[in-house]
Structure 1
Amino acid sequence: MSKYILKRKGMIFALLLLSLVCSTTSIVIVSFIQKIIDSIADKYFDETLYYIILIMIIVIIGFIFNNLYIILEAKIIQKIHIEIKYDLFESLLNIPCEDFFKTSVGSKINLFENDLRNLDDAYFNNIFNVIRCIFILSVGTIYLFYLNAFEGFLLLLFSFLLFLIPTYTGKKIDISFSRYSDCKSIFISKLKEYFEGVNIIHAYSITEKIKNCFSDINFKVESSLYILKREIGFYNQLMISGNYFIISLSFAIGGLLAINKKITLGQLIAISQVINILIQPECEIASSLVEIKGTQTIRIKLKEILDKRNTKVLKTDNLNLSDNLESLEYKDVFYEVNGSPILKNINLKIDAGKKYFILGPSGCGKSTLLKVIANQIKATRGSIYFNSEKINANTNILNALVSIVYQDVFVFNDTIENNIKLYKNYSDNIFEDVIELVGLNKKIKNKLSSTSLIEGEGVSGGEKQRIAIARAILRNVPVILFDEVTSALDKDSEKIIMSKLFNMKDITMIFVSHKVDEEFLKRADHIYCLNDGMIVEDGTWKNLIKNKAYFYHIYAKE
């Protein structure tokens, strides 16, 4: 995380200079107070007035430079916030889909809402606080040695002993920070889950059960916070007790020196003032070091995610992206989850401009196969060929060739137009043609750019599916995959949409469904029948009917 600070070397250098000036002004004021007291004791009242005027000037200078310090520190932290949030967001977007969904959305939101906030409060802010306090301690200790070397030595000795406390307590606080962060992540994830499933909660009368579950996770997160606060509080009490001891000892020694005429009354008061000034930054440094050490687990977790931002996607050797798609072929493809096969020995070929169906019962692996074709999940084994040339499974070339349309359509909280265009620029003519093709009605067209969708409110399931189809067509890629995309449409609307899609000769389309109108099965160039993760039969409608095997008995017997 320190790299985000070091990238702003110029601003940090300016901050260091300001810290030096601010620290120096505080100690200069103390030295002038000493002069005032000594001049009063010696009855040099002209000198007293002179130092009072100097103090007023120094106070004004200190106010100006302290304010500049605050502004510059805030600006540095703002820039760090913007950059680290962007990098974290980019890193999360770079995670492959199959890995992205291994953790909940709530846990990812928690990175921004909780982990980054803890990192800000306990790491970045404390680093700047330590820098400033070190300058105050350094300047103050030098002046204390100037006043009395013995007092300065004592302060250094006991300060060193106090700084040993973070070594003892830091590890425990780190564990507590990590435990609280994990509990908070689970809390946010569950809260999001409960609110998203409120219809199910009411429909199935499980309100009491959900309230009990919420009570449990709420207790765990608050208990972890209680332990964290308790440990930080114990540490703070140790520091306060140690500081009281240093103050008492310093006053006692200073008083003895004053009684024995070793130092003046003004020096005694100056020593007292310096020690009072130094005690606070001393406490803050020790406290900051504990909190910085306590963020170690969070920093490691965020660093692991941020490092993925720089992960290079492997390129495919000898692959010309300007080549027109002739074919995509998948040979001997397997996909496994925790050793359990979901897809087994898949072999299929997709030729440019042709229309395909993948049929099979629910749970047979149809949607998983589409995700493998779209490169949203990586095949565990097998080979992929683009225009008869083998491509690397880790390449992102398939993302540029293939669009996928899901049954469950996601919409952004934005205008309908932006939901279709997905924030890209298209000509009005092309956009209007696509709108007409998917059959978005006049009511939708009239509010394309004026109405924001909030979780899809005001748009029917069928209209959302049309929006999803329009997105894919507008993207103008050679292959589009459709996963049960007409399920929310009535039979007549489905037939109209399917007819228009089949008439798009230049686009290769693969339709996944468990039930399809016979007209389109007959028009399809090839049909693949999937069962239990395997292609059990494939061919044209005519051949499959003639074979009277799996397809015939399941789909076309009537």
Structure 2
Amino acid sequence: MRYLSLLKKKLVLIRMVILAFLASLFAMSPILVMEKIVDNASSFNLDRLPIILILSFLYLIMQIIGNSLFAFCSYQAKKESREIGANLQVQVYKKLTVVDISEIDKISTIEFANIALEDSTVIAENYLVPVNNLFISIFTFSMALIYMLRINWMLTLILFPLCLLTALVSKKLQSKMEVYVSNKRENSKVLFNNFSQIIFGIKTIRSFKKETYFNRIIEDSSDKLKTSDIKQAQLESLSEGVLSCLFMITIGLILLVTSIFLIKGMITFGIMVAILMYNNMLVDPLLQLVNIQAQMIKVKESMSRIDALFKMREYKPSYHYEERINKIVVDNVTFKYPKSDIKMLFNFSVNQKEKVLVFGNSGIGKSTLAKILTGFYKPLSGTIRFYSNDIELSYIPYISYLEQDGYLFNLPIKDNILFGDEYINKKYNEILKICCLEKLITEYGDKKIGVNGNKLSGGQCKRILLARALYKGAPIYVFDEITSSLDENLIDTILDNLSTYLKKKIVIFIDHNNKLKMYVDTIIKVSSNKETVIGERHM
């Protein structure tokens, strides 16, 4: 991704260039006016007082206009950056809705959040700001150089090499800074990930009395970040010190040279004062390169991570609602994880109203089959065909999927169940009864249930997730580990309720609980050898 590729309107860049030019022009103009004021004042002639007053008023107006333009340039750069950042966050979300889920499963949720929030925030705060500052620096330096050349080319020839030296030193220091910034960023990410995991798992850590173990992890990652921080701070301090020395040397040299030129009558007193007052316009743009490059490095680091996200493989098949599905055929469907030597092979069919149990040991690939059926994972080969009224569909019908590790939002129970769907009182109350949630909904009401339902028990979370799956409504239901976390005394009740409520639907249970065999018509047995996981239909 190129640095300015996020700009949707090239006019934004043109406007920034024009504003930067005008701001620099009005910053330079007061120098010429000051030169005239001092020269008129040094004549000690009272007749020149009206001219001095007019020039002083003109100087004031130019300063106001110049500073206003600088402020407006800064505002425009920040405004456009914020808009780009906000748009980028929306684009990241849209990308996540189409990226292959198997790609997402390779990366931690925390890392995704880091990319989506932290990196897009860095871009929102810095994207066009350094570009704007770069334009201003270029124009300011160019105008200052023209002004110096107009006064005396010899004076320029003496001062310019020192300014060039300042720029070269700045560039050298910045190249080292780039490495430190990258290291700091990586160490910061590691510390952020460790802290996030510890916060989410603090109860488990305390339960197993592993505070000391995880304390060492935090200390280690914190020390690495501290070391990279210190190295960056050392280089920043060195940069500031060296560049400040060069700046003061430049001031001293300007004072010496202009004094000699003044004594020899090569420049006027007004020119000398103007140069001393505004020499920063020649030196500051070069010093400013340090901050500009630091900001650009930070933005490029964030853009590279976001760019990697946008390059992730996409897979989002077409989905449409169907009232009835009378057959599913899984025909020689294969799947293989990138770092695994085992290939999965599934061959079976499911008919209308049939209840099927995909049965096998934990970790054998049952949940993978659920993700293939629902269109989350793309098979390596083979086909999954859905039939409505014996006509093969060219899309995947809506499937209501109870994930093994489904997520609950920090919202009231009702909002988690409805999940953006229209509220239908009769349907909602019926599902609460099926999932044995009446008491829980009475107890919690409109209270939020915490991040991923952390205020509730595992069984309560599972029943809310089940209620969400039922409320969605679909011709096919896939329940992955529906019995996990449920109280034993509730399993039979809920399964009996589901048998009645979903009697006209295709239901696929993915579980290793033998109790489910009583509630299904067919079993898809998943077994494995050294090289292949096989899922086949058993009556």
> Which bracket does the TM-score occupy, shorter chain normalised?
0.7 to 0.9
Residue in 2 aligned with 1:527?
A: 523
TM-score by length of 2: 0.86
Cα displacement (A) at 1:56: 2.7
Residue in 1 aligned with 2:486?
A: 489
The 8 Å contact of residues 342 and 365 in structure 1, kept in 2 or not, is answered as no
Cα displacement (A) at 1:497: 2.0
> What one-letter code is carried by the residue in structure 1 that aligns with 2:379?
A
Residue in 1 aligned with 2:140?
A: 136
- Could you report, residue by residue, the CA deviation over 1:136-177 in whole angstroms, capped at 9, with x for unpaired residues? 223333333333333345555544444344554444333322
Counterparts in 2 of 1:92 and 1:237: CA distance versus 1, 3 Å: farther
The 8 Å contact of residues 360 and 514 in structure 1, kept in 2 or not, is answered as yes
* Whole-angstrom distance in 1 between the partners of 2:422 and 2:242: 62
- Could you report, residue by residue, the CA deviation over 1:241-288 in whole angstroms, capped at 9, with x for unpaired residues? 433343333332222111100111001111222312332222103542
Residue in 2 aligned with 1:243?
A: 247
The 8 Å contact of residues 20 and 136 in structure 2, kept in 1 or not, is answered as yes
Counterparts in 2 of 1:364 and 1:54: CA distance versus 1, 3 Å: closer
The 8 Å contact of residues 353 and 504 in structure 2, kept in 1 or not, is answered as yes
The 8 Å contact of residues 481 and 510 in structure 1, kept in 2 or not, is answered as yes
The 8 Å contact of residues 326 and 351 in structure 1, kept in 2 or not, is answered as yes
Of 429, 432, 442, 1:435 maps to 432
* Whole-angstrom distance in 1 between the partners of 2:535 and 2:317: 34
> What one-letter code is carried by the residue in structure 2 that aligns with 1:512?
I
Counterparts in 2 of 1:491 and 1:33: CA distance versus 1, 3 Å: same
Residue 101, structure 1, aligned to residue 100, structure 2: no
SS state at 1:347 partner: strand
The 8 Å contact of residues 180 and 232 in structure 2, kept in 1 or not, is answered as yes
Residue 372, structure 1, aligned to residue 376, structure 2: no
Cα displacement (A) at 1:223: 1.2
- Could you report, residue by residue, the CA deviation over 1:25-68 in whole angstroms, capped at 9, with x for unpaired residues? 32222222211211111122232222222223333334443443
> What one-letter code is carried by the residue in structure 2 that aligns with 1:140?
A
Residue in 2 aligned with 1:513?
A: 511
Residue in 1 aligned with 2:183?
A: 179
* Whole-angstrom distance in 1 between the partners of 2:289 and 2:76: 20
The 8 Å contact of residues 251 and 272 in structure 1, kept in 2 or not, is answered as yes
Question: Map of 1:260-409 to 2, 5 A cutoff?
Answer: 260-289=264-293, 291-293=295-297, 296-308=300-312, 313=315, 325-338=325-338, 340-341=340-341, 344-387=344-387, 397-398=395-396, 400-409=397-406
CA RMSD of aligned residues (A): 3.2
Of 254, 257, 264, 2:258 maps to 254
Cα displacement (A) at 1:484: 2.0
Question: Map of 1:466-485 to 2, 5 A cutoff?
Answer: 466-485=463-482
Compare 416-425 and 113-122 and name the one that shifted more.
113-122
The 8 Å contact of residues 495 and 519 in structure 2, kept in 1 or not, is answered as no
* Whole-angstrom distance in 1 between the partners of 2:276 and 2:160: 15
Residue in 2 aligned with 1:544?
A: none
Counterparts in 2 of 1:19 and 1:538: CA distance versus 1, 3 Å: closer
Question: Map of 1:23-172 to 2, 5 A cutoff?
Answer: 23-42=24-43, 43=45, 44-112=48-116, 114-116=118-120, 118-119=122-123, 124-165=128-169, 167-172=171-176
Counterparts in 2 of 1:224 and 1:352: CA distance versus 1, 3 Å: farther
* Whole-angstrom distance in 1 between the partners of 2:517 and 2:124: 59
Counterparts in 2 of 1:344 and 1:4: CA distance versus 1, 3 Å: closer
SS state at 1:163 partner: helix
Counterparts in 2 of 1:119 and 1:224: CA distance versus 1, 3 Å: farther
The 8 Å contact of residues 364 and 531 in structure 1, kept in 2 or not, is answered as yes
> What one-letter code is carried by the residue in structure 2 that aligns with 1:138?
S
* Whole-angstrom distance in 2 between the partners of 1:313 and 1:369: 16
SS state at 1:337 partner: coil
* Whole-angstrom distance in 2 between the partners of 1:147 and 1:365: 80
Compare 435-444 and 202-211 and name the one that shifted more.
435-444
Residue in 2 aligned with 1:546?
A: none
TM-score by length of 1: 0.84
* Whole-angstrom distance in 1 between the partners of 2:440 and 2:428: 16
* Whole-angstrom distance in 1 between the partners of 2:324 and 2:524: 25
* Whole-angstrom distance in 2 between the partners of 1:305 and 1:534: 31
**Structure 2 portions without partners, runs of 5+:** none
Cα displacement (A) at 1:95: 3.1
Residue in 2 aligned with 1:418?
A: 415
Identical amino acids, percent of aligned pairs: 20
* Whole-angstrom distance in 1 between the partners of 2:90 and 2:173: 33
Counterparts in 2 of 1:27 and 1:34: CA distance versus 1, 3 Å: same
Counterparts in 2 of 1:106 and 1:230: CA distance versus 1, 3 Å: farther
Question: Map of 1:8-19 to 2, 5 A cutoff?
Answer: 8-19=9-20
- Could you report, residue by residue, the CA deviation over 1:495-529 in whole angstroms, capped at 9, with x for unpaired residues? 23212322223321111222243xx6345221122
Counterparts in 2 of 1:93 and 1:524: CA distance versus 1, 3 Å: same
The 8 Å contact of residues 357 and 512 in structure 1, kept in 2 or not, is answered as yes
Of 208, 212, 225, 1:208 maps to 212
**Structure 1 portions without partners, runs of 5+:** 541-558
* Whole-angstrom distance in 1 between the partners of 2:157 and 2:146: 11
> What one-letter code is carried by the residue in structure 1 that aligns with 2:480?
D
The 8 Å contact of residues 170 and 289 in structure 2, kept in 1 or not, is answered as no
SS state at 2:336 partner: strand
- Could you report, residue by residue, the CA deviation over 1:172-200 in whole angstroms, capped at 9, with x for unpaired residues? 33332222221111111111111222122
* Whole-angstrom distance in 2 between the partners of 1:123 and 1:226: 26
Alignment: residue pair count: 528
> What one-letter code is carried by the residue in structure 2 that aligns with 1:454?
G
* Whole-angstrom distance in 2 between the partners of 1:536 and 1:478: 23
Cα displacement (A) at 1:358: 1.6
Of 430, 433, 448, 1:452 maps to 448
Counterparts in 2 of 1:424 and 1:247: CA distance versus 1, 3 Å: farther
